[in-house]
Chain A
Amino acid sequence: MTVPKTDQPAVHLTAPLLQQVSPPSAQPGAIVGLATPASTSKLAAIARGEKVETITHAAVSRETPVLEVLRFNLWYGAKQALHEISLPLPEGKVTALIGPSGCGKSTLLRSVNRMNDLIDTVRIQGDMKLHGDSIYHPAVDVIELRKRMGMVFQKPNPFPMSIYENVVYPLRVDGERDRRLLDETAERCLRGAALWDEVKDRLHESALALSGGQQQRVCIARAIAGDPEVLLLDEPCSALDPIATNKIEELIQELKGAYTILIVTHNMQQAARTSDYTAFMYMGYVIEYGPTADLFVNPHVKETQDYITGRFG
């Protein structure tokens, strides 16, 4: 199921990779008044357009990274959305991305499985590595790459087909026809997504008839059906009630270990409860990255503390 690269919108790679180039224009000037001057030397520096280094805790480097983001920059047209992002994501752990709205969390997540290729105006610089394989190298087969990751979107987006077909969709696009294997996968993933008991009698009914929380769990089941190496979750609970949120958080706990998970969330408690590592992003920069416990209890950067305690944003 490989498709010629011409099928995908071109990604403009600036050679050589990893070379630092100053962006054409990245002057996000409107945010200056956001915080008080005294406490925001770093934020003010960003607002002035200066580069800010990521503070990475030492504990991170002791883990084996499965996915490495290497000095990654991304532009939407002339507007730079990601600045020099460098993140090693530890294997089998949950990493949370937090930060105010519009800071580029979704953009970063979508960069990991190259969903941003679908947007014509996007231009990138830098690279990411999945198990040591480059993600953005021109010779990479995007479709094969995406099969190594699962993604769950902010809004549940089940396909207009049955629950069963939704879940086995990644296998279907691989051309899998073995009925037994499909059935097994459907059951395993639906159990994995804590949905099996609710839908086992109506597997062949439309997935659109499910509730929002059930739909989101169908999407999670779908995301793990392809047996991905990395699971990307973009605010998976933002459309859900507390009970469904609970279920999904429990699910994340169960899935971790087997999968490396990168989750975007606006909910600090959720980040604290579910994740092992947390990265705090602001205006396209990762400000601080470290073990969740450390980051929440004694952050090295004052801005992180301000954000976590709700003093800005």
Chain B
Amino acid sequence: MVALVMIVGLLGLIFYQGGATFWPGPLVEITTHDGRTFLGEVTRSEDYRLDADTLNKLPPAIAANARALLAAHEGQMRRRLLRTGNFDLTGSEYQWVSDYEVVRETEPLWAVTVERTDWGNCYGVVQGFLVTNELRVKDPARAEVETNDPGTAWNRFQQVHEGVRDKLANEHYFVRLQTRGGSKGDKVYDLPVEEVVLAYPANQLSFGGRFKVYLTRWVEFLTDKPRMANTEGGVLPAIWGTVAMTLLLSLLVVPFGVLAALYLREYARPGPIVSAVRIAINNLAGVPSIVFGVFGLGFFCYLLGGSVDQVFFRDRLPSPTFGTGGLLWASMTLALLTLPVVIVSTEEALAAVPSSMREGSYACGASKWQTIWRIVLPRALPGIMTGMILAMARGAGEVAPLMLVGVLKHAPELPIDGVFPFVHLQRSFMHLGFHIFDVGFQSRNSEAARPMVYTTTFLLIVIIALLNLMAVWLRSRLRRRFQVSHF
């Protein structure tokens, strides 16, 4: 019961937070009592206790306002976290604003949210549209201002944005934005259209418009490579890495696990050695996964991979290099890690095949191998598939050993491409699990990374669920097939 509540709660939180990340919120412009102005998107709000010291230092009118707010709100003060973006201009990305500080709050009609290729988001109010023949606007006075009307400027932006990102033109376009820098001061910033990934006037969007932006951002997330130290852009390489590694791992672990279980259950004579092997397998399941990582690095990467390099690719190093971490070695390491699961469930599935069926087969003059191949294995297949599903679920979520055997923070090259031999199993790869760790805890700005952590977690869970569903579907198909006919 507790477990159910916890699972539902956790999934609910992740789905809510992950699902909400890409929803475009309105932009507010807030002026505080000390004259600073901020423009940004409210990301969250919370209540806190305002200490008396701060309160006493405030100008009397503001202090009175603050006291009134406190009284109305049971002694709590609300504050909101604004994502103000413009990191390149202000050196900060987020700003807390308490309610008592606010003297003016508006939602400017032409405030726009801009996702850029560099420096993260930009927020500003459209003022005009410029054309120059230089890459940057060095002297705003010399630039040719096309229009000073926000509506016209926005239309021009939309016209040129589509084509401009890829081609090199002599003309460079800029959107003139009024930005708000808080204590750093407000600036007029000429935003190069080339740098814009996605822009929308957040306060003018209808619900449908917001939904379109939401979908566009999801598509970008799923199909793009990461930008900005993984905090921006998409996770396509990580999705690829996760899926490829999981599939490869199940391809490796199932034959080995099934053979091992077959030997243990059907061929080995019960005795101290078999018992010892069983105990060893069960203990293998309890070994911390990082130990497998160390083993994988030492054995697969250095020993096996090193030998492969020496023997086959001596003259061609460093491409390909097998002697470092890579997709193949990572899958092998995880296959080793999940082997006990497959062995144990296969053994159980084999034991569950009624002995009457085996006897029936023997009585028909079948040999032991024929009986196993034609009767026992098909009958045990659903159980074996269950083992595979468990192994996949465990393997796809494992991160620690991967850090040693091939996962990188940034490896935009996919393991499959158009270059011979098309599948590059020796390449390092990205993994959603590691991505979560990297974005959440290793990035410059944890506040900016937070939504990405939720979204990536959400994605990881969905992908694992999809992989499992696929395996379950395959299992039911096989089950039906082996009930009906045989090979």
Residues of A within 8 A of B (CB): 1-3, 7-8, 113, 115, 118, 143-144, 146-147, 149-151, 153, 155, 157-162, 164-165, 169-170, 172-174, 204-206, 208, 219, 222-223, 226
Who on chain A is nearest to B481 by CB? A161
Q: Please name 11 pairs of A and B residues whose Cβ atoms are closer than 8 Å in the assembled complex, sorted by A.
A: A115-B363, A118-B358, A143-B366, A143-B367, A146-B364, A146-B365, A161-B482, A173-B364, A174-B365, A204-B485, A222-B360
Docked complex: B232-252 residues within 8 A CB-CB of A:
none
* B365 engages A173 (CB within 8 Å): yes
Number of residue pairs across A and B with beta carbons under 8 Å?
94
* A173 engages B360 (CB within 8 Å): no
Measured CB to CB, the closest approach of chain B to A156, in angstroms, equals 9
* A146 engages B379 (CB within 8 Å): no
Measured CB to CB, the closest approach of chain A to B455, in angstroms, equals 45
Q: CB-CB < 8 A to B54: which residues of A? A: none
Q: CB-CB < 8 A to A205: which residues of B? A: 484
Given contacts A153-B356, A169-B361, contact A161 B483 (CB under 8 A): yes
B359 within 8 A of A: yes
Which segment, of B66-74, B151-159, B369-377, faces chain A?
B369-377
Q: CB-CB < 8 A to B360: which residues of A? A: 151, 153, 157-159, 219, 222
* A1 engages B357 (CB within 8 Å): no
**A174 to B363 CA separation, bound complex (whole angstroms):** 13
* A160 engages B374 (CB within 8 Å): no
**A178 to B129 CA separation, bound complex (whole angstroms):** 81
**A118 to B359 CA separation, bound complex (whole angstroms):** 9
**A149 to B365 CA separation, bound complex (whole angstroms):** 9
Who on chain A is nearest to B485 by CB? A162
Measured CB to CB, the closest approach of chain B to A259, in angstroms, equals 15
* B365 engages A161 (CB within 8 Å): no
Q: CB-CB < 8 A to B367: which residues of A? A: 1-3, 7, 143, 173
Name B's interface SS.
Answer: helix
Measured CB to CB, the closest approach of chain A to B101, in angstroms, equals 74
Who on chain B is nearest to A173 by CB? B366
Q: CB-CB < 8 A to A146: which residues of B? A: 362-365
Name A's interface SS.
Answer: mixed
Given contacts A115-B363, A159-B375, A226-B364, contact A173 B370 (CB under 8 A): yes
* B356 engages A157 (CB within 8 Å): yes
* B368 engages A3 (CB within 8 Å): yes
* B359 engages A115 (CB within 8 Å): yes
**A147 to B363 CA separation, bound complex (whole angstroms):** 8
* B484 engages A1 (CB within 8 Å): no
B354 within 8 A of A: yes
Contact of B486 among A149, A157, A165, A219 (CB under 8 A): A165
**A137 to B386 CA separation, bound complex (whole angstroms):** 44
Measured CB to CB, the closest approach of chain B to A220, in angstroms, equals 12
B378 within 8 A of A: yes
* B363 engages A159 (CB within 8 Å): no
Total interface residues in chain B, CB < 8 Å = 25
**A155 to B359 CA separation, bound complex (whole angstroms):** 12
**A2 to B482 CA separation, bound complex (whole angstroms):** 26
**A204 to B482 CA separation, bound complex (whole angstroms):** 11
Could you give, for residues 288-324 of chain B, a 1 whenever the CB lies within 8 Å of some chain A CB and a 0 otherwise?
0000000000000000000000000000000000000
**A153 to B358 CA separation, bound complex (whole angstroms):** 12
Q: CB-CB < 8 A to B363: which residues of A? A: 113, 115, 146, 149-151, 153, 223
Q: CB-CB < 8 A to A143: which residues of B? A: 365-367
**A35 to B484 CA separation, bound complex (whole angstroms):** 52
* B485 engages A161 (CB within 8 Å): yes
Q: CB-CB < 8 A to B361: which residues of A? A: 159, 169, 173
9 further A-B contacts with Cβ under 8 Å, apart from A157-B356, A159-B375, are A143-B367, A151-B360, A160-B483, A161-B378, A161-B484, A165-B485, A206-B483, A222-B360, A223-B363
**A126 to B271 CA separation, bound complex (whole angstroms):** 30
Q: CB-CB < 8 A to B358: which residues of A? A: 118
Given contacts A118-B359, A157-B357, A165-B486, contact A222 B379 (CB under 8 A): no
Measured CB to CB, the closest approach of chain B to A172, in angstroms, equals 7
> B369, B482, B483: which has the most chain A beta carbons within 10 Å?
B483
**A150 to B370 CA separation, bound complex (whole angstroms):** 17
* B356 engages A173 (CB within 8 Å): no
* A7 engages B368 (CB within 8 Å): yes
Who on chain A is nearest to B364 by CB? A170
Contact of A162 among B362, B368, B369, B486 (CB under 8 A): B486
Measured CB to CB, the closest approach of chain A to B200, in angstroms, equals 58
**A247 to B362 CA separation, bound complex (whole angstroms):** 26
Docked complex: B338-395 residues within 8 A CB-CB of A:
354, 356-370, 374-375, 378-379
* B484 engages A118 (CB within 8 Å): no
Who on chain A is nearest to B267 by CB? A7
Docked complex: B62-96 residues within 8 A CB-CB of A:
none
